[in-house]
Amino acid sequence: MNPRLIATVVGLRLRRVAADRANLIWLILMPLVFSYLMGMLMGNWSATGSASKPTFIVFGLEPATEAVTALLAPLADHPDFELVRRDTTATPERARSLLEDRVVAGALLVGPGFADSLRAGLAPTLDFYHDSDRTSSQRVRQALEAAYAATAVRATVQSLVDPAAAPEDPGKAAAFDAATYDSLVAHPRVRLAVTSLGRNRTADLTLTLTDSRQHSGPSYTLMFILMFLLMSAKDLVLERRQRTLDRLRLAWPTTADLVAGFFLAGMVVGLLQAALLLGFNAVLFRLDYGPSPACLALVVVLFVAVSSAAGLLLGTLSRTGGQADGLGMVFGLALPALGGLWWPLEIVPDVMQRIGRSLPTGQAITVFHDMIGRGWGLAETAPMLWGLAAWLAILLGLAVYFFRREIRG
Amino acid sequence: MIEVHELVKTYGAKVAVNRLSFAVAEGELFGLLGPNGAGKTTTISVLSTLLPASGGRAVVAGCDVARDPQGVRERIGVVPQEIALYEDLSARDNLLFWGRLYGLGGPDLKRRVEEMLEAVELAEHARQRVGSFSGGMKRRLNLAAGLMHGPQVLFLDEPTVGIDAQARKKILDLIRRLNADGLTILYTTHYLEEAEQLCHRIGVIDRGELAALGDKEDLIRQIGDEDTIRFDLPESLLPEFAEAAARWPGAGAVSHARGLAQLRAADGARILPEIQSWLAARGQSLAHLEVERPNLETLYLNLTGRALRE
């Protein structure tokens, strides 16, 4: 294959997409409008995830120092979960056991000397175990991190302004300044090590998202990527009808170059669209896509690749622009509807959940839900990612086969 | 430069090209003349490697089309009947794109694009979108796109279809210039006058078969260098007329068709007074007179029984 010729074909496609201003409506504007409106329509889900709040246990508490009291105060009244017990004897093994037996949804281990470490200006690490099948790690993490930040900053500031609180360095009070304070607020010294234990997907999983925009943001991004690339199938039909495809075949690119060029052009358009839309959603609606950038990147790349391959296959099989448009519309609406892009799969019957998660749309949005709501990464979402990879292999294989068959005449 | 031997192309049971054989010399402008559906485009598609042949052999610019299609593609330019351009791009951007696909780049590419724009008289419209071009301008740019990489052989598939006389003249002049510069051209058309004016030699093709081949004079000789004279004559007088005509010097066969008597003659103008006298002697006047010089249309009708514009 010749990368230069492939890049030329990709460049042409990008130029043509950019030249048509109507494309901006379908690439950017409509997905954002849909994300926003559907997010507003579906509202806040934090109170509807389950009838009762998930329960959390805090282990290994040292005597109730001021720091510990401050740490737990915001957690005790949290609207999304309930703090039910304190236990000074537990171990990490005990925490795991309680989670596996589904006695609690999360367990926090506060090691001995926590308050002293804070006062000494050290950076203590707390271990948090949670069952990601039952609750959103993001929701808990945000609450815990806010509480830790407040606690850590309070303790550190105390040590700075009160030399008696930092006996190892009585001169610290003189060093306090606004910049140091800001730095401490921005980078709290308490670190939280999160371990997710729930990894078994079942059809009756609870929806762990707290806000409908956590669904509508990625789902309408995925839907419009798929629709745009499926509707682009018509371009290939027009290339064939206007004989530009013949002219391309007569030039230097091989069949493999042309297939790669068309496929990669779709990928570049889709990836740009995904980057813009997911970026806008993150900024405008404060969406957090979870702790694994690698997982986010992989699911986006795989879904865009599947969509591009589907568009190429549709363009190769369609004989007329009308066929390509019609089939593109049918698949562009049916796959999102069945795959849980219009509404979460968690609220549809089991059989429809299974059908939805066998489709690329269902697989991709499930990965997004798991990243956002459960804090899962590559290992936990692997089954869905492999599903997307399988779709990619099938669709791209068929597209290449039919494209080559057509070119051979 | 082009050798075609017993070339066959079938689509299932349908035979599109049937045992076609001809050769085109280097620097020659060769025309394939035939009505729509005669097999001209299929022949070009096979020779340019777009379609595989079902039988026979073809060599273009020294490369076998079946064994070395890439070699053929590097040496040929093809101008399809359709406007195979991107209408949403400018003329310059189109040529830049096609040039890059032929491996051109940098200053060479830019220079070539400007040369081609000048050659097809579109330099002033280089930045204009092709979609806003007239039919003739699109045809000229279509031609330029096929020439970007400086091919040795150019296939032109009906490049003047659907344009006005002025635009057609510009294209034909351009083709003459290209050929005068040494480019070998295979030109398909169903316009008889284009083939007559432009081509050194012509192959007449019908239903996928080569019906005749040669230069214009060769072809006309194939139907005999005789005029055909037609006029009104009651069929009852035809035997008497044939008897009289047999005595006139230069007169040939007599027949009757569509209510008209038909006489073949070496020189129609010289024999007309004889006919007029013969008719006058029988109280008849010379009516519905047609004198037809031998031409390719006649040849085509004789060979295929179909008019070229069908």
- Collapsing DSSP states into helix, strand and coil, what is residue A184? helix
- Please report the pLDDT score of residue A203 as a whole number: 40
By CB atoms closer than 10 A (0-12, 13-18, 19+), residue A41 is: exposed
Q: For residue B82, is pLDDT > 70?
A: yes
Verify that A284 and A309 share a domain, yes or no: yes
Verify that A150 and A223 share a domain, yes or no: no
- Rounded to two decimals, the ipTM of the complex is 0.75
Which of A5, A242, A247, A407 to substitute to test the interface with B, most B CBs within 10 Å?
A247
Report if residue A382 sits inside a domain: yes
Q: For residue A291, is pLDDT > 60?
A: yes
**Residues of chain A contacting B, Cβ within 8 Å:** 4-5, 8-9, 12, 15-16, 19-20, 241-244, 246-253, 408-409
Q: For residue B269, is pLDDT > 90?
A: no
Verify that A183 and A102 share a domain, yes or no: yes
Residue A379 φ/ψ, nearest 5 degrees: -60, -45
Alpha helices, DSSP H, located in A162-186: 172-175, 178-186
Taken in order A144, A149, A151, A152, is the CA torsion positive or negative? positive
Verify that A270 and A353 share a domain, yes or no: yes
Residues on chain B touching A253 (C-beta within 8 angstroms): 101
For A199, which DSSP code? -
Which of A6, A16, A244, A249 to substitute to test the interface with B, most B CBs within 10 Å?
A244
How many other CB atoms sit within 10 Å of the CB of residue A122? 13
pLDDT-based confidence at A275, cuts 50/70/90?
very high
Percentage of residues of chain A with pLDDT beyond 90? 31
Verify that A14 and A87 share a domain, yes or no: no
Report if residue A102 sits inside a domain: yes
Query: For B89-133, what is each residue's pLDDT tens digit?
Result: 999 999 999 999 998 888 999 999 999 999 888 999 999 999 999
Q: How many Å is the maximal CA-CA distance in chain A? A: 88
What would the 3-class secondary structure string for chain B be?
CEEEEEEEEEECCEEEEEEEEEEECCCCEEEEECCCCCCHHHHHHHHCCCCCCCEEEEEECCEECCCCHHHHHHHEEEECCCCCCCCCCEHHHHHHHHHHHCCCCHHHHHHHHHHHHHHCCCHHHCCCEHHHCCHHHHHHHHHHHHHCCCCCEEEEECCCCCCCHHHHHHHHHHHHHHHHCCCEEEEEECCHHHHHHHCCEEEEEECCEEEEEECHHHHHHHCCCCEEEEEECCHHHHHHHHHHHCCCCCEEEEEEECCEEEEEECCHHHHHHHHHHHHHHCCCCCCCCEEECCCHHHHHHHHHCCCCCC
Percentage of residues of chain B with pLDDT beyond 70? 95
Residues on chain A touching B83 (C-beta within 8 angstroms): 242
Which of B101, B109, B149, B158 to substitute to test the interface with A, most A CBs within 10 Å?
B101
- Please report the pLDDT score of residue B310 as a whole number: 47
- Please report the pLDDT score of residue B215 as a whole number: 84
Shortest CA gap A222–chain B (Å): 28
Residue B43 · residue B20 · CB < 8 Å: yes
Residues on chain B touching A246 (C-beta within 8 angstroms): 50, 78, 80, 84
Lowest-pLDDT range of A22-36, A76-90, B57-71: A76-90
CA A57 to CA A81: how far, in whole Å?
A: 10
CA B105 to CA B50: how far, in whole Å?
A: 25
- Collapsing DSSP states into helix, strand and coil, what is residue A42? helix
Chain A and chain B share a number of CB contacts under 8 A equal to 62
CB contact B100 to A (< 8 Å): yes
Contact B89 A16 (CB under 8 A): yes
Partner A, chain B 122-181, Cβ-Cβ below 8 Å: 145
Residue A182 belongs to what domain range? 55-201
User: Which among A179, A201, A223 is the end of a domain?
Assistant: A201
Report if residue A50 sits inside a domain: no
Q: For residue B54, is pLDDT > 80?
A: yes
Contact B97 A251 (CB under 8 A): no
More confident residue, A31 or B97: B97
Residue A192 φ/ψ, nearest 5 degrees: -115, 120
Residue of B nearest to A14 (CA): B89
Shortest CA gap B58–chain A (Å): 17
Taken in order A35, A36, A42, A46, is the CA torsion positive or negative? positive
Q: How many structural domains does chain A have?
A: 2
Verify that A190 and A220 share a domain, yes or no: no
Mean per-residue pLDDT over chain B, rounded? 87
Query: For A224-274, what is each residue's pLDDT tens digit?
Result: 999 999 998 988 999 888 889 989 988 888 889 999 999 999 999 999 999
Shortest CA gap B94–chain A (Å): 9
Query: For A300-336, what is each residue's pLDDT tens digit?
Result: 999 999 999 999 999 999 988 899 999 999 999 999 9
For A409, which DSSP code? -
Verify that A212 and A167 share a domain, yes or no: no
CA A278 to CA A26: how far, in whole Å?
A: 15
Q: For residue A404, is pLDDT > 90?
A: no
What is the rounded (10 degree) CA torsion for B264, B269, B271, B274? Answer: 130
Range of A19-23, A143-147, B216-220 with top mean pLDDT? A19-23
Q: For residue A18, is pLDDT > 70?
A: yes
Verify that A84 and A98 share a domain, yes or no: yes
Contact A5 B98 (CB under 8 A): no
Shortest CA gap A18–chain B (Å): 11
Residue B308 · residue B192 · CB < 8 Å: yes
Shortest CA gap B93–chain A (Å): 9
DSSP output for A244-259: HHHHHHHSS--HHHHH
Query: For B24-40, what is each residue's pLDDT tens digit?
Result: 999 999 999 888 888 88
User: Which among A201, A230, A255 is the end of a domain?
Assistant: A201
Verify that A32 and A173 share a domain, yes or no: no
Residues on chain B touching A252 (C-beta within 8 angstroms): 73-74, 101-103
User: Which among A167, A183, A201 is the end of a domain?
Assistant: A201
Verify that A193 and A209 share a domain, yes or no: no
Q: For residue A151, is pLDDT > 90?
A: no
Average pLDDT on A128-154 reads 70
Contact A244 B84 (CB under 8 A): yes
Average pLDDT on B238-254 reads 88
Residue B14 φ/ψ, nearest 5 degrees: -85, 130
Which residue of A20, A242, A246 is in closest CB contact with B83? A242
Average pLDDT on B241-265 reads 86
- Please report the pLDDT score of residue A49 as a whole number: 44
Long-range CB contacts for residues B150-153, cutoff 8 Å, separation at least 24: B150/B112, B151/B75, B151/B76, B151/B77, B151/B183, B152/B1, B152/B61, B152/B75, B152/B76, B152/B183, B152/B184, B153/B1, B153/B2, B153/B60, B153/B61, B153/B75, B153/B76, B153/B77, B153/B183, B153/B184, B153/B185, B153/B186
Q: Domain with A69 in it: what CATH number?
A: 3.40.1710
- Please report the pLDDT score of residue B99 as a whole number: 93
Claim: this prediction has a pTM higher than 0.90: no
Verify that A224 and A331 share a domain, yes or no: yes
Contact A247 B84 (CB under 8 A): yes
- Collapsing DSSP states into helix, strand and coil, what is residue A336? helix
Which amino acid is residue A215, in one-letter code?
H
- Please report the pLDDT score of residue A171 as a whole number: 55
Contact B101 A252 (CB under 8 A): yes
Shortest CA gap A138–chain B (Å): 47
Verify that A361 and A222 share a domain, yes or no: yes
- Please report the pLDDT score of residue A330 as a whole number: 93
pLDDT-based confidence at B205, cuts 50/70/90?
confident
Residue of B nearest to A5 (CA): B101
Contact A16 B88 (CB under 8 A): yes
Q: For residue A168, is pLDDT > 70?
A: no
pLDDT-based confidence at A117, cuts 50/70/90?
confident
pLDDT-based confidence at B212, cuts 50/70/90?
confident
Report if residue A127 sits inside a domain: yes
More confident residue, A269 or A145: A269
Partner A, chain B 104-123, Cβ-Cβ below 8 Å: 105
How many other CB atoms sit within 10 Å of the CB of residue B7? 25
Contact B80 A243 (CB under 8 A): yes
